[in-house]
Amino acid sequence: MANRVRVASVADVAPMQAIVVQAGGRRLALCRVNDEFYAIDDACTHDNGPLGEGELDDHQIECPRHGARFDVRTGAALSLPAVRGVKSYPVTVTGDDIFVDVP
Ligand code: FES
């Protein structure tokens, strides 16, 4: 059963930015695309690059280490050198609070 964890306020994440948050002992990249929020693992599957420091381009985030791209909605890997996706987590926004469901 998932635990719903408050990870940030809406104001903590500027549009088209990602921040790193902690939930359930994991480091997550919390990404804001316009007014939608998505959470994926912070570690790139290629070589553990910090995805939360990556650049967002629409629903894609680019790993700052070697440029692999992931879909923040699903965690799917979209380009080399990553071939495996990252895990994604459900996000809920209630008022100003952002929650992530983690196992
Ligand atoms: S660590 Fe992310 S592309 Fe290499």
| Residue 55 in this model has a pLDDT that exceeds 90 | yes
What's the pTM? 0.95
Q: Give the residue extent of every domain in the chain.
A: 3-102
pLDDT band at 65 (very low <50, low <70, confident <90, very high): very high
pLDDT score, position 2: 82
The response to whether residue 84 sits with its C-beta less than 6 Å from ligand 1 reads no
Query: How far apart (Å, rounded) are the C-alpha atoms in residues 63 and 49?
Result: 6
Is the beta carbon of 86 within 6 A of some atom in ligand 1?
no
Contact predicate 42/35, CB 8 Å: no
Percentage of the chain lying above the pLDDT 90 cut:
98
**Under 8 Å between Cβ of 35 and 47:** no
**What CATH number belongs to 3-102?**
2.102.10.10
47 lines ligand 1 (CB under 6 A): yes
